[in-house]
Chain A
C-alpha cells in the first residue's frame, strides 16, 4: 500500500495569514501515460463529513474558494490556504488514488493563532 505522510500534524495561523500543509507519498502517484498526479485533498470540519477540495493535485472542486490551492508532483505535494479565514478551521487530509487501496494521510489540524 502507498503510505501518505502529512506534515505538520497541526498548525496555528493568524487570520489572513498563509497556511501550508505538506503531503508525501511513499511512491510516485504520477501516472506517466497521462502526466496526472492521482492526489486529492479534503477538508473535514468538526462533526461533518469530509469535503473534496482539490483533485488531480491542483484542480479546485467547484465552489471551493480560490484561496485554496494545490501543488506538487510525483511524491511531494502541498495544500496552501493563502489567507486563512475563521471558517477554514478544520482537519485536512491528502489522499492518493493511484492504486487500490486508496490511502489517506493522517490529517493536519488547522487552527487560528
Chain B
C-alpha cells in the first residue's frame, strides 16, 4: 500500500524551530518529486515547498530563507526544517507525492499539526 506518514508537529513559541518528517512506503521514493502543503484551521490549501528527484528545491515566498526541504532517499524520508516560526505558520502540514514530475499531488499523508504560539 502506498503510504505517507508525517511526524514532528508540535507547539512551538514564535521564533522557534521545528523539523517535520515524512516517511514513505509502498513505492520507489527516489523516483518522485515530493511536496509539503499546509492548511490553517478552517482555511484552504497552501503549497509550501517542493523537492524534485534531482534535489532541486522550491519554496513559497513567505517561507523562503526560513524553511528548508530535504530528502533522504535511502531512508524513504522527506523533511521540512522550519526556523524563525511565526504565528502565520500555524497549520496542518501535509506531505504529498508529486505525479510524474508535474506539480499535482496524487498521494497525501494524514498531516502533522504545527502550532506557533506563546
How many pairs of residues, A versus B, come closer than 8 Å at their CB atoms?
56
Chain A residue with the shortest CB-CB distance to B58 = A100
Q: Which of A55, A93, A97, A100 contacts B45 (CB 8 A)?
A: A93
Q: Which residue of A lies closest to B50 (CB)?
A: A100
**What does DSSP make chain A's interface, helix, strand, loop or mixed?**
loop
Complex contacts, B46 vs chain A, CB 8 Å: 104
- Which segment of B17-25, B69-77, B105-113 sits at the interface? B105-113
Binding site for B on A (CB under 8 A): 38, 40, 42, 44, 48-52, 55, 61, 93, 95, 97, 100-107
Instruction: Judge whether A105 and B47 touch: CB under 8 Å.
Output: no
User: Is there contact, CB below 8 Å, between B108 and A50?
Assistant: yes
Question: In the complex, what residues of A have CB within 8 A of residue B94's CB?
Answer: 49-50
Instruction: Using C-beta atoms within 8 Å of the partner chain, give the interface range for chain B.
Output: 20 to 34
Q: How far is the CB of A6 from chain B (nearest CB, A)?
A: 9
Residues of B within 8 A of A50 (CB): 37, 45, 94, 105, 108
Q: How far is the CB of B85 from chain A (nearest CB, A)?
A: 20
Complex Cα gap A105–B44 (Å) = 8
